[in-house]
Amino acid sequence: GITRHYDFDVQMAKVTRLCGSKSIVTVNGQFPGPELVAREGDRVHVRVTNHVSHNMSLHWHGIRQMQTGWADGPAYITQCPIQMGQTYVYKFTITGQRGTLWWHAHISWHRATVYGAIVILPKLGVPYPFAAPHKEVPVIFGEWWAADTEVVMSQALKVGGAPNISDAFTINGLPGPLYNCSAQDTFKLKVTPGKTYLLRLINAALNDELFFSVANHTLTVVEVDAVYVKPFTVKTIVISPGQTTNVLLTAKPVNPKANFYMSAAPYSVIRPGTFDNTTVAGILEYHEDPSSSSSFDKNLPLFKPMLPRFNDTKFVTNFTTKLRSLATTKYPAAVPQTVDKRFFFTIGLGTLPCPKNMTCQGPNGTQFAAAVNNVSLVLPTKALLQSHFTGLTTGVYASDFPAMPLSPFNYTGTPPNNTNVATGTKLLALPFNTSVELVMQDTSVLGIESHPLHLHGFNYFVVGQGFGNYDSAKDPAKFNLVDPVERNTVGVPAGGWVAIRFLADNPGVWFMHCHLEVHTTWGLRMAWLVHDGSKPNQKLLPPPSDMPKC
């Protein structure tokens, strides 16, 4: 592989959307940010200079970061933020991955405007396991607030309640024709009859899982989270925040002389009104001559896709159970067949007593919180990875994160009287190369919601999922240990559970959290500590000299 150099300058830029302008934090003044392209095996150096008055930190979502945990990016977990005027060069190698991933700010709510695609091409000369597409197009879903997103977040924290819902969804930063003043801000995809296009779908939205469909066309799913899957064809896909999905779209053989909406709208089991139930649309247009500059013809008929109902969990389950690893000799599924350590985590919302001098919007005047095993993680003031590396534990992390919920869990459908969670900053430590099985159970306390759980530094295999309470006597017999999907973010179903397996072969401190930003902020987050192995290639490398300081 070669080394790819990128300069990312974090700077403000003025952007007009939805009838108004505001200054947003960007990389290089671009929104969405620049696309990062590399091949499997390449080294990547991204020199990030912070020119804004906010602290910054960037995360390369889904990149394995073998031995390079210092480049992972979550603020106060693997690094201190890059302060104004400072530069930090993220250096990592892309090992064993090819497909679509993405990068985003990993501090506060800055990822609302600071994000972009990561395109990992196969090694030179290595074809895709499907027919080569005519063109490849990143399609990034986002969420747009008319207000400053930092203000939205701090308001939510101040009242201990839910943040204001976003004002629009976007495709590649564009809200599309269904929103006010936005017809000119519409993503358009020009296709030529008979050609096949690879859409690199990325859900960069903050708080919403999405359905996506293209009117009168089908989508063939070929890869998720930079891992190939057994191809299958659907009309609509489901994508959670943090997830990426590559689909093939084949244009009709003969110019249909029509335009087609490409639409995305949220999947949520909580009632509309408490989330943004609007729809973003892009437009698929046909052009016989791909070089033609002829523009969108609005006199042609326009077709709209039928998206599932906002709470169609059946549809979602049906979609996710279709996802299978390719599991061929060339692309084997390295599912751990034996387990060294089993964990059971509860995932869900809860409450904290309302701090004095605040009026809280949680039940009975409490403050909303969210927790893993009933512990709501409080970010430390020094990065956990640095503390670990220098042997510092006092006042940083005192003891182990509980391997089991603090109180036994049995979901009955009625929330418990006491919904309070504990707070803490603790790591769950694993010896190098531990084979882990983790069952994550949604508690459905204070709202039934699916939680897209993202693990940094690893891919895991989704070996099982179900509804109701996980049954450790019966459910493991149904686990798929042959071709389960391999990914970095999975939706823990609302009122259900998901079982994952991974091999802890990457030393460092690895964040795991719900990728709904509001839940992360409320504390639905924890971190694993994977110790060094004995061989040189099993140790965390020393921190780079330009590592930011707190």
H/E element holding 511?
strand 508-514
Map the footprint of ligand C2O across residues 265-304, applying CB under 6 A: none
188-203 exposure pattern, b = at least 16 Cβ within 10 A, e = fewer: bbbbbeeebbbbbbbb
- Decide if residue 348 touches ligand C2O (CB under 6 A): no
**In angstroms, what CA-CA distances link 347 with 16, 371, 468?**
38, 6, 13
- Out of 106, 200, 388, 501, name the contact with ligand C2O by CB under 6 A: 106
Tell me whether residue 457 or residue 466 sits nearer to ligand C2O (CB atom): 457
Q: Which of 22, 54, 61, 190 binds ligand C2O (CB under 6 A)?
A: 61
Q: What angle do CA 336, 340, 344 make, to 5 degrees?
A: 95
410 C-beta neighbours (distance < 10 Å), count: 8
- To ligand C2O, the closest distance from the beta carbon of 460 in angstroms equals 14
Q: Assign 192 to helix, strand or coil.
A: coil
Per-residue binder mask for ligand C2O (CB under 6 A), 9-48, x = binder = ----------------------------------------
Closer residue to ligand C2O in complex, CB, 17/515: 515
Residue 489 CB, nearest approach to ligand C2O (Å): 7
The distance of closest approach from Cβ of residue 407 to ligand C2O in the complex, given in angstroms and rounded to an integer, is 27
Residue closer to ligand C2O by CB (options 17, 59) is 59
What is the smallest separation between the CB atom of 103 and ligand C2O, expressed in angstroms?
A: 9
Instruction: Using CB atoms within 10 Å of the CB of residue 292, give its burial: 0 to 12 exposed, 13 to 18 middle, 19+ buried.
Output: exposed
Taking CB atoms, the residue at the shortest distance from ligand C2O is 61
Shortest distance in whole angstroms from residue 56 CB to ligand C2O: 15
Q: By CB under 6 A, name the one of 217, 388, 426, 456 that touches ligand C2O.
A: 456
Whole-number Cα distances in Å, 85 to 54, 77, 548? 10, 22, 11
- The answer to the question of residue 454 lying near ligand C2O (CB under 6 A) is yes
| Amino acid symbol at 293 | S
- Which has the closest alpha carbon to 449: 207, 117, 118? 207
Shortest reach from residue 284's CB to ligand C2O, in Å? 28
User: Smallest distance from the beta carbon of 104 to ligand C2O, in angstroms?
Assistant: 6
Taking alpha carbons only, the member of 448, 452, 449, 475 closest to residue 464 is 475
Minimum CB separation of residue 157 from ligand C2O in Å reads 19
With CB under 6 A as the contact rule, the residue among 17, 22, 54, 59 that binds ligand C2O is 59
Residues 236-255 close enough to bind ligand C2O by CB under 6 A: 242
Number of H helices, E strands in the chain: 4, 33
> Residue 235 and residue 220: Cα distance in Å, rounded?
9
- Which residue, 106 or 388, is less far from ligand C2O as judged by CB? 106
Rounded Cα–Cα distance for residues 508 and 323 (Å): 29
Q: Give the DSSP letter string of 354-392.
A: PPTT----SGGG-EEEEEETTEEEPP-SS-HHHHHHTT-
Residue of 32, 33, 74, 523 interacting with ligand C2O (CB under 6 A): 74
Does residue number 451 form part of the binding site for ligand C2O (CB under 6 A)? no
CB atoms within 10 A of CB 50: 24
For 105, the token pair is: 């700010």
Q: Which of 17, 54, 64, 104 binds ligand C2O (CB under 6 A)?
A: 104
- Minimum Å gap between C-beta 517 and ligand C2O is 10
Tell me the residue length of the chain.
550
Which residues within the stretch 474-533 sit at the binding site for ligand C2O (CB under 6 A)?
511, 513, 515
Residues of the shown chain interacting with ligand C2O in the complex, contacts defined by CB under 6 A: 59, 61, 74, 104, 106, 242, 454, 456, 511, 513, 515
